[in-house]
Amino acid sequence: MVNYSPLRRWEWISAVGILLLAAFLRLHAPDITEFKRDEATLSRLSLNLAQGKDFPVLGIGSSVGFPNSPMNVYLLAIPYAAGNNPILATLFVGFLNVLAVALTWRVARRYFGAEAALVAGFLYAVSPWAVIYSRKIWAQDMLPPFVIATVLTGLLGLVEVKAKRWAQFWHLPLLAITAQIHFAAVILAPISLLMVGLGWCRIRREFWFGLVGAVLLCMPFVYGLYQDDWLSLSKIQDSLERSRNSNPGDVTPIVENPREIRSTALDYVWFTIAGKNIHSLTGANQFQQYLDEMPPAYGVFNLVPIGVVMAALGLGVMAWRKSAQRPILLVLLVWLIVPVAAYIYTWTAVQPHYFIPMMPAAFIVVGAGVAQLKKICVLGHGAKSTVHRQTSVSQHRRQPLEFATSILVWVAFGVIGMLQIWLMLGLLNFLNTHDTMGGFGTPLGYLLDVRQTILDADADGVLVVSEGDSVLYDNEPAVWDALLDGAGEVRFVNPAHLWVVPAEPTLLLVSPTVDRDLMPITPEVQPYKTLALRPGEGVYQIWQNPLPSVAGTRTAVEAHFANGVVLESIWRDANELWLVWRVPDAQAGMQYIAFVHGLDAHDQKLGQTDLPFWPGGYWQVGDKVLVHAQLNLDGVQKLSIGIYRFLADGNYQNSELLDAEGRYLAQSLVIENQ
């Protein structure tokens, strides 16, 4: 059952060819990859670790609020130790997946023979979704080599009769690493338990040493969960319930989903293994154009999952009838089935990428099925039926039926493989040249051009103007916080209701999503550099510290508040007010809200507006913050202006108005409405 024979020349050549093909599809054009908030946040944590700034004990948050393990951060710190360009990390993920193809080939070859290895390796190398899940800085994209290595060490150390002690040692640590890279790999636990049960009589002390190593590998994550009070069954249950009642990619609860058996998991598995539905990456507005440019191949791709089902049934019959072959086949089939069975029942929302761990198993099953099919075809010629056959005779001496079967199988796989490569390369080109709104994000290459322009400017600081200002929650700040690592002080402002005039010369990077009318800059002033994205996607603008242009009548104030900010002046223009504040040094973690209340002659409130202030962590001494407030001033005799923050208990606290000596004056500044 186990193939111990040395590799022959044609096997070496075919294996190298498969790996080169896998490497080309996974490493070619690494700048055609998404780099959005998740990728950027993961990159920032890894950069901090690689640069010695922090040692995280929790990873990035998940869509349901439960934190991820920092294991993927530790892995990505390896490429980021060589440089802060995310292309390095993207190539690292691609390399891991080329290694996964090699390991898939090795597992199939060891247990099912040379032809099974060729089939499994080839199908995995060209599978569109396997390629897509290899080209991004995504935690789950790093799973495949660790999944296969975990299963392989279990087979070598526990299932094979001549158990390898080194494999016993590494099995549980690899399981601990894999399950922490992404929670989708938790499905390996029952597979590992099965292998432990099959090899219980062969367990040696190395296995228990490995168990200690696995526990140690989990300790940082456990400590992080304890530190943030996540070791609570109620919190875990709340997260699962939130996931089950949420749309994919959306943490907002929708109509409650009943706990029931659904076909969603089967649908996802089918198109993942087949390589169908890759047009979904092009977005709702562009997918039809992409499909029109490609051959109609999805129907042919269905042959792959059909082959998986047929091969699995055949191998299941073999495992039932032939006890000598049962252990390996049982592990392989459980590896294939458990991920599907785990998500048939809606205990949590299911995502297509949850089935990344089962993809190698599917292709190994097809390879094993093809190898067995050939044995069945030659039984009438006196061939002995075994799990695999040592093929030492040349092709022209094979039995005719066996030769015809090989030709038929490889013609089918060859056609499928060429079509999958065609569609995959066409998809990459399409994603790089079309605005795929709602699908694939702006390719990293375009963002790196912007990054390089800013780095070449050698500025001391960069102010990114975007639709958000939070690195933790907003896409653009997270992306540019990671991409502009090493570009000096990088800060963020949302111009929806405020503007910032830095005290020191600063480059302004303006996102394509920002409305120019929101920026109080003289229309005649133009950016010194614009960098276009994909057609129709807009441009990034780079400005060199433009001065603001605010209309209206100016009233000097110079009012000091307890948190260190100073209200310098007020600009009035009809019902619009610009409050010009001067800020002190940074106050990390502080978020204030500026308010303006309109009062009548008896100090009764007629109207009010409350607007989030610029986050305190971005302040630098002398920066000016212009807050744009709109308030109906009809009948307003006085203006009450101040600034406050919310406390942990839900109450709020005003920053008191002080005199020049720092003595308390009032809760807010009250002036006449002139």
Give 114-138 pLDDT, tens digit per residue.
Answer: 999 999 999 999 999 999 999 999 9
Q: Which of 3-7, 140-144, 436-440, 514-518 has the lowest mean pLDDT?
A: 3-7
Could you tell me what percent of the chain has a pLDDT over 90?
A: 70
CA atoms within 13 A on the CB side of 496: 10
Percent of the chain with pLDDT over 70: 90
For residue 659, report the phi and psi dihedrals to the nearest 5 degrees: -90, -175
- pLDDT value at position 239? 63
Check whether 257 has a pLDDT greater than 70: no
C-alpha to C-alpha distance for 483 and 477, rounded to whole angstroms: 10
Task: Report d(CA 91, CA 136) in Å as an integer.
Answer: 9
Most confidently predicted of 232-236, 388-392, 625-629: 625-629
Judge contact between 39 and 138, C-beta under 8 A. Answer: yes
pLDDT at 67: 87
pLDDT given at position 323: 64
Average pLDDT on 549-576 reads: 90
DSSP one-letter string for 111-149 = HH-HHHHHHHHHHHHH-HHHHHTTSS--GGGGHHHHHHH
Q: How many CA atoms lie within 13 A of 231 on its CB side?
A: 8
Q: pLDDT band at 327, cuts 50/70/90? A: very high
Would the pLDDT of 242 be above 80?
Answer: no
Higher pLDDT, 524 or 490: 490
Tell me which amino acid residue 359 is: M
pLDDT over threshold 90, residue 530: yes
pLDDT of the residue at 383: 41
Residue 386 has pLDDT above 50, yes or no: no
Per-residue pLDDT, averaged over 363-386, amounts to 72
Question: Do β-strands 638-646 and 652-654 pair in parallel, antiparallel, or remain unpaired?
Answer: antiparallel
For the chain, the structural domain boundaries read: 9-242+260-433, 444-544, 553-672
Q: Which residues contact 397 (CB under 8 A, 6 or more apart)?
A: none
In this prediction, residue 19 carries a pLDDT of 97
E-state strands within 3-110:
none
Q: What is the mean pLDDT of the chain?
A: 89
How confident is the model at residue 493, as a pLDDT?
95
**Domain 553-672 sits in CATH 1.50.10.20:** no
Q: What is the mean pLDDT of residues 446-451?
A: 96
- Rounded Cα distance between 425 and 325, Å, is 40
Q: What is the mean pLDDT of residues 600-617?
A: 92
